[in-house]
Amino acid sequence: MDNTGIKYKEAIKESIEIISQDPNSIFLGYNVKYGSMGDGAYKNIPTEKLIETPVAENLMLSMAIGMSINGYLPIVFYERFDFILNALDAMVNHLDKIKDMSEGQFKPKVIIRAVIGGKLKPFFTGPTHTQDFTETIKSLVRFPVIKLFPDYQSIKNTYLSALNSKESTLIIEEKDLYDKIVT
């Protein structure tokens, strides 16, 4: 595909559509089916693969862990990276450790998408919607935590690597880059 003039967000959307071709993929979070992201990144994903959740971050990730243990490939979406703090119990104490706690019986794999909120005006959402916890979370878990580089091939490679990996991956996007043309 010719990627000339493709925006950062479009490269993410293409990557998500590739992941959706996996028959076990399922997408969950708030705004995946009905919200702003439902009109973009998930627009071409079959609705039966989209699970709209309440704003309950720990529940979202805990649900994804259970789905993974039962053979699904869950992709959890956090519209604001700040709110992933509410999911740290599930992430740090369960997703990251369940393989050890179960002596290898359970090996959940979840792909987590989180967006650092935009700081550009006129839509600056404030300090509680724009924080970046990348380095902190890297220090808490053993699976890959990757902030997307604004390059078309890097975006695609990151998502494909997460798809093909045997372990969970947290992918961090930056809202301020969504309209940036990537090469």
Task: Give which of 168, 86, 80 is closest to 132, Cα–Cα.
Answer: 80
For the chain, 183 residues long, give each residue's pLDDT as a single digit of tens.
566 689 999 999 999 999 999 999 999 999 898 876 544 789 899 999 999 999 999 999 999 999 999 999 999 999 999 999 999 999 999 999 999 999 999 999 999 999 999 888 777 778 888 999 999 999 999 999 999 999 999 999 999 999 999 999 999 999 999 999 998
| pTM across the whole model | 0.94
**β 73-78/111-116 pair status:** parallel
Measured in Å, how far apart are the chain's first and last C-alpha atoms?
12
Q: How far apart are CA 132 and CA 153, in angstroms?
A: 23
Rounded Cα gap, residues 8 and 137, in angstroms:
23
Which CATH number is associated with domain 8-177?
Answer: 3.40.50.970
Structural domain spans, the chain:
8-177
The span from the CA of 154 to the CA of 46, in Å, is 26
What is the DSSP code string of 61-121? HHHHHHHHHTT-EEEEEESSGGGGGGGHIIIIIIITTHHHHTTTS-----EEEEEEPP-ST
